[in-house]
Structure 1
């Protein structure tokens, strides 16, 4: 179980800052908010808090970021890794998954950042490996055009190769720490990485000694064909968004086939974590009322600005009643497909631009479980037993309330059914995640 948030005023339910139950007594830019969120998730025995990210305000809609700014569409958003020590300092077991892009940070610097965080957290850090997908990110970092998706994956492959070399460059026993002789480390056991590739050059030793996990838990959200191959090759856990159990099962079967056939990894060796949004209450009617208040907070123009930014198409140029087509998009292809199949697992029922925007702005097209704790646990069991889910990424609505309610109401029901741990299995995130 993971809590899905961003280091910003609003996460993945557009307009939640307007909700009267959002951040009561808290401010997202203060440590107290993150400490409380972390302790709440640890109380619910979550594996980790997962921090998504975007590097610049979306600007595809009407070729401007005005609507993004106006409606707080994942904006403002602070840098994600800065809150890792706050979260792990407030907890003993909760991990943190941090989204960091490979496109604008050299792998040498990335390895140093992640190793440092893994040390400070006692081995509780995961890296969500991404390439930047929106034109606003590329423009903000001085690029006129985005690198094509296929080349981005080629670049990411080399990026990971450099990272692996650096993380593995310190051999066991390299640290001597002999005060009498003054020798701290044996240089013969610390490899000099000398990499000269088409995208990256690196000559140097990793500046950090091995961290508790050696390397962070590697997380991926590959959805396109190339993305699934990348995930099957590198990931220890995969985050995927599918609107229903049929699409979940198709994804699980496809991923496991890639693991076994292409990359010679055992089926089931990568944890499949599916996105889910929950609205829970003591009664179904109360939960439905909460759900309607959530939907009422979504601004239509802000929703359209978000799908435009995420998918790389300016939907302001389309009529709101026009049907969204199953096409290749410059942005996140797999999430776009979650919209296509939002109303029907076979994609036979058309989805209009307006419907697509509102569905996506509510929770990226992931399924929504609304009801009592028993109702939600029933739905989660279906996704596990029939959809192949190993766990869930719970998308935030109003915070911290949505996580408090889940922990207080749903967690005991899942534990009663034997579907959720009653204690953490290990001390590192990798130990807990792979055991759960």
Structure 2
């Protein structure tokens, strides 16, 4: 029987994805997101719930597409303020024994050489529990903040492909027996076994040796979220886990079948070697009516203007220029196409307006909201696994740390009772645990 892999979706900020959650009376009571104890507690909670990892999402600058300004983003705390994601990785892994950390790091503004060095260093510090969520920056605000013109979207994956291939070459440049560490002779490492990389590509140049000896995993676990045809190919070629957003079982099933074909037939990788992780937002309570009331209250906290600013930022469209009752499918969006497609499908066959899309996106992307008792939620998770092809789930936060405490206390035990969640970790590295059946 397939066991689920669990990732806790969070941001290093005052508010994660669910807009308005900082207002919730249970959010961060007695905690500060800017201090280590909060992250230590969150990490121990996820490990208690037998999660594979904490997934730290990121945005590099406040969204500024709405009214051509970031005012609404700042005013309504729309994923703002947000701190740099990799800085908390040593805190999270230092507080736990098995929990991994996936950090979202953009390929847009950092050279592959420094990216490799940072990730190898983190993998050493964590004892091999780091993953890299590979992204290319998509929102106008990020390019504005870095003083650069937005890249050519049609060439984005060409650049990312070269970036990741160079990273892999650097990580693989140390042979396993390169370190001699002979105190008598004074020789630490054999330079003939540490290759100097000479790369002169279309987008990057690099002449040098990787500055960090091989880390426990060799290289971080590679995560990706490919939704376009080219993105799916990139994910099928490189990723060890793929994160996708589909609002229904039909979308999950079609995506699972497509990615599995690409992994095996197009790129010759072993069957079931890539874990498919689908996003869900669990709202759990002791009774179904209590869970429904809880979800209604959560939705009431979302500011309409903040929601629209968030959607504008994600899709790089100023939705203040459009009628809120206009159909989302009628508006061209240069941002993340998979987000738009999922939001359109979230209408369950009905037309989705901009207002509805903004409300949906700012509360739960376009992930299914699982509202009910632990039994109700595990029933749905099992269906997504057995019929949708899911290998695991990205659990979208509401108020923290309470939403993860509730999942660990109520849902994880129910999953274990049904044989759907591990009762012990397979190993010490994230890759060991992610590959656990």
TM-score normalised by length of structure 2 = 0.98
Find the counterpart in structure 2 of residue 234 from structure 1. Answer: 238
Aligned Cα root-mean-square deviation (Å): 0.9
Measured after TM superposition, the shift of residue 151 of structure 1 is: 1.1
CA distance in 1, matches of 2:219, 2:66: 38
Measured after TM superposition, the shift of residue 233 of structure 1 is: 0.7
Find the counterpart in structure 2 of residue 360 from structure 1. Answer: 361
1:197 aligns with 2:198: no
Find the counterpart in structure 1 of residue 93 from structure 2. Answer: 88
Q: How many residue pairs were aligned?
A: 432
Find the counterpart in structure 1 of residue 48 from structure 2. Answer: 43
CA distance in 1, matches of 2:271, 2:355: 39
Find the counterpart in structure 1 of residue 75 from structure 2. Answer: 70
SS at match of 2:223: strand
SS at match of 1:259: helix
Structure 1: where are the runs of 5+ without partners?
none
| 1:205-255 deviations in Å (ceiling 9; x for gaps) | 000000000000000011111111110110000000110111110111111
1:262 aligns with 2:266: yes
Find the counterpart in structure 1 of residue 310 from structure 2. Answer: 306
CA distance in 2, matches of 1:336, 1:352: 12
| 1:174-197 deviations in Å (ceiling 9; x for gaps) | 000000110100000000001011
Measured after TM superposition, the shift of residue 326 of structure 1 is: 6.1
Equivalent of residue 173 in structure 1, options 169, 174, 177: 177
Following TM superposition, where does structure 1 have runs of at least 4 consecutive aligned residues deviating by more than 4 angstroms?
none
Find the counterpart in structure 1 of residue 3 from structure 2. Answer: none
Measured after TM superposition, the shift of residue 327 of structure 1 is: 6.1
Measured after TM superposition, the shift of residue 328 of structure 1 is: 5.5
8 A Cα contact 1:326 1:340, kept in partner: no
Measured after TM superposition, the shift of residue 72 of structure 1 is: 0.4
CA distance in 1, matches of 2:392, 2:400: 21
CA distance in 2, matches of 1:315, 1:266: 44
1:395-414 matched pairs, under 5 angstroms: 395-414=396-415
1:328–1:315 distance in 2 versus 1, CA, 3 Å: closer
8 A Cα contact 1:308 1:315, kept in partner: yes
Measured after TM superposition, the shift of residue 14 of structure 1 is: 0.4
Measured after TM superposition, the shift of residue 267 of structure 1 is: 3.4
SS at match of 2:329: coil
Find the counterpart in structure 1 of residue 391 from structure 2. Answer: 390
1:34 aligns with 2:39: yes
1:323-362 matched pairs, under 5 angstroms: 323-325=327-329, 329-344=333-348, 348-362=349-363
Measured after TM superposition, the shift of residue 266 of structure 1 is: 3.0
Measured after TM superposition, the shift of residue 329 of structure 1 is: 2.5
CA distance in 2, matches of 1:326, 1:336: 11
1:25 aligns with 2:30: yes
CA distance in 1, matches of 2:332, 2:179: 51
| 1:252-308 deviations in Å (ceiling 9; x for gaps) | 111112112221223322100000100101111111111111001100000000000
CA distance in 2, matches of 1:336, 1:88: 35
CA distance in 2, matches of 1:266, 1:183: 40
1:114-193 matched pairs, under 5 angstroms: 114-143=119-148, 145-193=149-197
Structure 2: where are the runs of 5+ without partners?
1-5
| 1:74-131 deviations in Å (ceiling 9; x for gaps) | 0000000000000000001000000000010000000000000000000000000000
